[in-house]
């Protein structure tokens, strides 16, 4: 995922009573990553929220704040029934993954020791980092939900150390109420952050409407993305008659691409590895053997930041089928996609700005 702002329709760790009305405002303002807690509204209302987010083309999140085992397991089952895209929070990963493992949702539990309501993160930095490693090693854990600003110690150090310790994405949640904190989150290597109460209290633009608060948050997020130290995941593909174009493009941007993760179909991956052996390349199957479908699966599960597919406009019509399918998924899941070199340059400028 890129550096994303997740709006939580919550205050004080409870889903707000007028969440449905606020959702309409949030969508009008441009928010696309939207979530709610497992407490505060009846299940029927949460179901309606999840459906509305999905219908609008957004990505939905349910965050678990219940501390007892029975409630957490019930919330995991609710996440499956609600068909949300991501389940955030909770502390019983072994039990929860038994419920979520056969569902397409992405699961991000809390590392560390969580107490109280609103939730607080306790323990030493070392203990929390060790917890993060253990959780990230679990197959059906897709990332971590770090309550960094609910920690009483050195928060920037905590975020940096957790980000360095695990390769899976980190969402920073709880008490993010200023532009400075958002910038610090970006610099730490986290891939996303949540804001709930602060968006409703006017913390980001005093006296402004809720819609303008969200627009302000989106602008802050866009600026902070330039500071993000999280490695990006970029798909690189090229039709045969555009592979020389891709080679030239990779050579031009090899410095910006260094340290990031490039996912390529087989032939393209071999080309990139031969051209710039220092780059991090993961090769999938060749396009003719299902590589494009493998990329589509990564788009569908939110594991790519962008797709760069240098397409040959003169290729036979049959070559368009996989490209059309991949384009459809990119649109559906709101993933940037470039089909030409100049468009790919814009993605580099947005995601990987020069030092």
Q: Is 109 helix (H, G, I), strand (E, B) or coil?
A: coil
**In order along the chain (355 residues), what is the average pLDDT of each group of 10 residues?**
88 90 95 92 92 92 88 93 94 95 94 89 96 96 96 96 95 94 95 93 86 94 87 90 93 92 91 94 87 89 90 72 86 90 91 62
The per-residue pLDDT for 300 is 87
Q: Give the pair of three-digit tokens for residue 202.
A: 């006017």
The per-residue pLDDT for 317 is 56
Same domain, 211 and 288: no
Q: What is the CATH number of the domain that holds 176?
A: 3.20.20.60
CA distances from 249 to 237, 290, 304, 308, 353 (A): 12, 24, 19, 11, 16
- The residues annotated as belonging to the active site are 292
Same domain, 164 and 22: yes
Residue with tokens 């174009």: 245
Structural domain including 60 reads 4-225
Rounded to 5°, angle at Cα 290 from 288 and 292: 90
Last residue of a domain, one of 193, 225, 257: 225
Same domain, 213 and 241: no
Enter the pTM of the model. 0.86
The per-residue pLDDT for 230 is 82
Residue with tokens 């948050």: 217
Whether the ω angle into residue 118 lies within 30 degrees of 0, i.e. cis, is yes
Same domain, 216 and 274: no
Last residue of a domain, one of 174, 204, 225: 225
Q: Is 60 helix (H, G, I), strand (E, B) or coil?
A: strand
Same domain, 175 and 31: yes
The per-residue pLDDT for 289 is 84
Distant-in-sequence contacts of 11-18, Cβ < 8 A, 24+ apart: 11/196, 11/197, 11/200, 12/118, 12/197, 13/37, 13/39, 13/65, 13/117, 13/118, 13/119, 13/196, 14/39, 14/40, 15/39, 15/40, 15/41, 15/46, 15/49, 16/40, 16/200, 17/41
149, HSE (Cβ side, Cα atoms, 13 Å): 18
The per-residue pLDDT for 112 is 96
Residue 148 gets which letter from DSSP? Answer: G
Q: What is the CATH number of the domain that holds 241?
A: 3.40.50.1380
Number of domains in the chain: 2
Same domain, 215 and 286: no
């Amino acid at each position: 995922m890129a550096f994303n702002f997740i709006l939580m329709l919550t205050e004080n760790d409870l889903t707000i009573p007028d969440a449905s009305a606020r959702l309409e405002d949030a969508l009008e303002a441009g928010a696309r990553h939207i979530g709610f807690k497992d407490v505060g509204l009846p299940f029927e209302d949460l179901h309606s929220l999840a459906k509305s987010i999905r219908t609008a083309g957004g990505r939905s999140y349910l965050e678990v704040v219940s501390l007892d085992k029975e409630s957490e397991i019930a919330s995991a089952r609710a996440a499956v029934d609600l068909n949300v895209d991501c389940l955030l929070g909770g502390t019983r990963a072994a039990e929860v993954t038994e419920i979520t493992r056969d569902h397409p949702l992405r699961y991000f539990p809390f590392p560390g020791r969580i107490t109280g309501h609103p939730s607080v993160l306790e323990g030493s930095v070392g203990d929390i980092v060790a917890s993060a490693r253990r959780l990230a090693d679990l197959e059906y854990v897709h990332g971590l939900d770090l309550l960094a600003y609910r920690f009483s110690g050195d928060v920037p150090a905590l975020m940096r150390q957790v980000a360095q310790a695990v390769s899976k994405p980190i969402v920073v949640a709880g008490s993010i109420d200023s532009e400075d904190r958002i910038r610090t989150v970006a610099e730490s290597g986290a891939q996303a952050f949540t804001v709930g109460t602060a968006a409703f209290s006017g913390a980001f633009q005093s006296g402004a409407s809720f819609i303008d608060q969200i627009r302000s948050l989106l602008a802050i997020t866009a600026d902070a993305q330039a500071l993000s130290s999280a490695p990006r995941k970029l798909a690189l593909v090229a039709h045969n008659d555009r592979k020389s174009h891709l080679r030239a493009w990779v050579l031009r941007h090899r410095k910006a691409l260094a340290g990031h993760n490039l996912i390529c179909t087989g032939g393209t991956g071999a080309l990139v590895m031969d051209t710039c052996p220092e780059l991090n390349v993961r090769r999938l199957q060749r396009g003719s053997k299902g590589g494009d479908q493998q990329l589509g699966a990564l788009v569908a599960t939110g594991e790519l930041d962008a797709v760069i597919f240098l397409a040959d406009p003169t290729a036979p019509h049959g070559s368009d089928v996989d490209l059309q399918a991949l384009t459809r998924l990119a649109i559906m899941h709101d993933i940037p996609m470039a089909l030409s070199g100049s468009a790919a340059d814009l993605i580099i400028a947005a995601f990987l700005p020069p030092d």
